Amino acid sequence: MRDELMGLLFRGIVWFGVYVLLVLLPLGLALLRDPIDMARAWSLEFAVAIGLIAFAILAFEFALVSRLRSASEPFGTDSLMQFHRQMGVVGMVFLLLHVLLLVPHGVGLAMLNPLGGGTASQTGAIAFWALLLLGVTSASRTRLRLRYESWQWLHALTAVVVGGAALLHMLAVNHYLSNGVLRTTLLVYTVAFIALLLRYRVVRPLHLARHPWKVIRNESIGGDTRSLQIRPVGHKGLDFQPGQFVWLATGRRALTAQQHPITIASSAETGDPADIELAIKAFGDWSRDVVPKLTVGTRVWVDGPYGALTPDRFPGQGFVLIAGGIGITPMLSILRTMRDRGDVRPVLLVYAADRPERMVYQHELDALEKELNLRTVQVFESPPPEWQGERGLVSVALLRRHLPQHFKHYQFFVCGPAAMMDILEDQLLELGVPAAQICTERFNMG
Amino acid sequence: MHHKIITRVSMVLAVLCLFVAAAFAWLVSPAQVALATSSDATSAGAEDMLFVKYCGGCHTQDEMLAILRKDDDLAGNADSMQQFLKRHGKSSDEQDAQIVAALKELAADR
Ligand SMILES: Cc1cc2nc3c(=O)[nH]c(=O)nc-3n(C[C@H](O)[C@H](O)[C@H](O)COP(=O)(O)OP(=O)(O)OC[C@H]3O[C@@H](n4cnc5c(N)ncnc54)[C@H](O)[C@@H]3O)c2cc1C
């Protein structure tokens, strides 16, 4: 297991190194051009360099979220999504700087008119405005009342426009891109982007279409949550690790289906047939309106498994599982798997919810407490007056009251609402838990 | 993985990119070009290097040649250019003369 962990760490470092290299490579190649031809002011060259880096950052934005399993395994999909968002902002700021720094060099703001000037200025202006649209719609999606799926399509479309227009802009300016090696490299970046997009939008869905699943049970389990049991049709199903998630695709055809990340709640020791259970809480239009209508026999598709929140990769002498709300699903999978494997390592489960009636799988957790070396602490934010147990938010003080003596040798898994995660990530470090022993996953990606 | 670690990694990477861009601009900016080419006398003459070093940041050679050829008054324009360099340029008088002489020669040739 330690070897697997080291392997993951090594892969993480290699992937990150490759990413940095690919972002900076165009600038390195630009140096190959005969310098005597391009003696221009420092600030002008800086503006150009920033523009080249912005292009490379934006070209690889999609790679970060295109479900490349080997790249997402070391970091976790939610972390890659966060990195994607933050590097997107960096790319946008760089592009803005690129334009502003060019102003003193005679590139007037009139260049931002997509209908005026020559090809270079028109394509530059299109890339600029498309990127601005992409940034604004991403930052204010909820304020603009954009459905997540509509926003996803708009996001992909504007990203393609930005990438295409920026490439045409650089080709039209033809300064550093008159260097054949650099031109070829940037064309390769563009082809890689298109290939990833095709894999994501066409190849993967076609693969999913050949491996359908069907709903065999769909029932409400309280707390605005439904338990969905699905069975593989004509194939062996999934080989997953406890705590991992899948993209559940629902709709008429796999190619056009809506896909949502949902954690597998069942044991990784699947039987035959290899059914899996998903617990889905009603949040928005899909989970509220579509999921309840997935009647028995409905065809769905499953892309996965993904995710790094799993004891199979982060072993410990024991485990501390901290779940907030529907964040209980990966913990349930971990506990069910431990039961099926006869794993007797000690586990402390801290399960936080608004009120007792918002909790799910209560009876099963009680049963698991008897079958496993498990202790459960329930925490309610707004408990009924007669509640004698823990109340409020999960905090260091609360954890101190319940953590076992040798907790620093335990592996911590945390999954819950963003606010809880922000607090706990810091507080666990304060408690002295080594960072490498804290594994987290966030359920909100956008 | 931790939210904060990723935020820090993104910030460090952004700063690294800015530094690399600044270093790139410094490497290809006129003073460095002059230095880089000073050991390679065959690819550019000493006057070319002076031009690149002191004028190339803002002007192209073609712009200068057009100024010299204005009104077909090569000698007069060259004198004004030299006076201008004396007043505004960072180069020495001797270097001014070298730059203008080289440009004058080019303007007459082409
Ligand atoms: C790794 C992971 C595991 C998850 N596991 C579970 C689980 O086991 N049970 C559960 O109930 N929920 C889980 N979620 C959350 C679940 O994906 C969202 O609640 C669901 O997609 C909401 O969709 P909606 O249309 O009903 O709501 P919306 O209001 O449209 O979306 C609410 C939020 O959900 C996210 N979201 C919505 N659609 C997508 C999408 N297609 N791709 C990515 N993110 C999307 C966005 O952050 C969005 O802001 C998980 C999320 C992640 C990231």
What's the mean per-residue pLDDT of chain B?
Answer: 76
pLDDT > 70: percent of chain B: 68
Query: Looking at the domain assignment, is residue A216 inside a domain?
Result: yes
Q: What pLDDT, on a 0 to 100 scale, did the predictor assign at position B1?
A: 55
- In a domain, residue A446? The reply is no
All residues of chain A having their beta carbon less than 8 Å from the beta carbon of residue B32 are: 35
State the CATH number of the domain containing residue A379: 3.40.50.80
- For residues A333 and A422, membership in a common domain is answered with yes
Domain finish residue from A168, A189, A207: A207
Single residue among A254, A273, A306 that ends a domain in this structure: A306
> Does A194 reside within a domain?
yes
pLDDT band at B54 (very low <50, low <70, confident <90, very high): low
- By three-state DSSP, how is residue A226 classified? strand
Ligand 1 near A361 CB (within 6 A): no
Per-residue confidence (pLDDT) for residue A368, from 0 to 100? 96
B35 pLDDT higher than 70: no
Model pLDDT, residue A296: 96
Question: Can you give the pLDDT at residue B43?
Answer: 41
Secondary element (H or E) of residue A13: helix A2-30
B5-28 confidence digits (pLDDT tens): 899 999 999 999 999 999 999 888
The count of domains in chain A is 3
Same domain, A286 and A245: yes
A146 shares a domain with A18: yes
- Using pLDDT thresholds of 50, 70 and 90, give the confidence band for residue B56: low
Residue numbers of chain A with a pLDDT score lower than 70: 1-2, 33-39, 108, 445-446
Q: Report the pLDDT value the prediction gives residue A289, as an integer from 0 to 100.
A: 94
> Could you tell me the residue range of the domain that residue A109 belongs to?
2-207
Nearest to A425 among B4, B10, B37 (CB): B4
The residue among A99 and B87 whose pLDDT is bigger is A99
A438 CA → ligand 1 middle, Å = 23
pLDDT given for residue A173 in this prediction: 85
pLDDT score recorded for residue A105: 75
Find the residue in A nearest to B26 (Cα).
A42
Confirm if A418 and A444 have CB atoms less than 8 A apart. yes
- Listed by number, the residues of chain A in 167-206 with a beta carbon closer than 8 Å to a beta carbon of chain B are none
> Does residue A41 form part of some domain?
yes
**Residue B92 parent element (H or E):** none
Distance CA A15, CA A317 (A): 30
pLDDT at B52: 62
Per-residue pLDDT band for B90 (boundaries 50, 70, 90) equals low
- Minimum distance, in Å, between the CA of residue A103 and any CA atom of chain B: 14
Angstrom distances, CA of residue A86 to CA of A9, A79, A92, B10:
22, 11, 10, 6
The answer to whether residue A156 is domain-embedded is yes
Q: Which residues of B touch A175 (CB under 8 A)?
A: none
Asked if A65 and A188 sit in the same domain, the reply is yes
Instruction: Tell me, yes or no, whether A320 and A215 share the same domain.
Output: no
Chain A residue nearest residue B18, CA to CA = A50
Shared-domain flag, residues A357 and A281: no
pTM of the model: 0.82
Q: By alpha-carbon position, which residue is closest to atom 53 of ligand 1?
A: A443
C-alpha A9/C-alpha A314 separation (Å) is 12
Q: Which of A356, A349, A395 lies closest to A376, judged by CA?
A: A349
Judgement on whether residues A182 and A41 belong to the same structural domain of the protein: yes
Same domain, residue pair A260 and A282: yes
In sequence order, what are the residues at sequence separation of 6 or more whose Cβ sits closer than 8 angstroms to the Cβ of residue A136? none
How close is the Cα of A361 to the center of ligand 1, in Å?
20
Would the pLDDT of B57 be above 60? no
Residue where a domain stops, chosen among A281, A306, A331: A306
**The domain that contains A295 carries what CATH number?**
2.40.30.10
Does A445 fall in a domain?
A: no
C-alpha A434: how far from its chain's center?
A: 24
What's the CA-to-centroid distance between A85 and ligand 1, angstroms? Answer: 17
Do residues A169 and A42 both lie within one domain?
yes
Contact: B27, A24; criterion CB under 8 Å: no
Q: Are A30 and A145 part of one and the same domain?
A: yes
Q: Are both A189 and A175 inside the same structural domain?
A: yes
Position B37 scores a pLDDT of 56
Give the strand order in the sheet containing A299-306.
Answer: A258-263, A245-250, A299-306, A213-220, A225-232, A276-281
Q: Is residue A420 part of a domain?
A: yes
Assess if residue A97 is contained within a domain: yes
Asked whether residue A345 falls in the same domain as residue A287, the answer is no
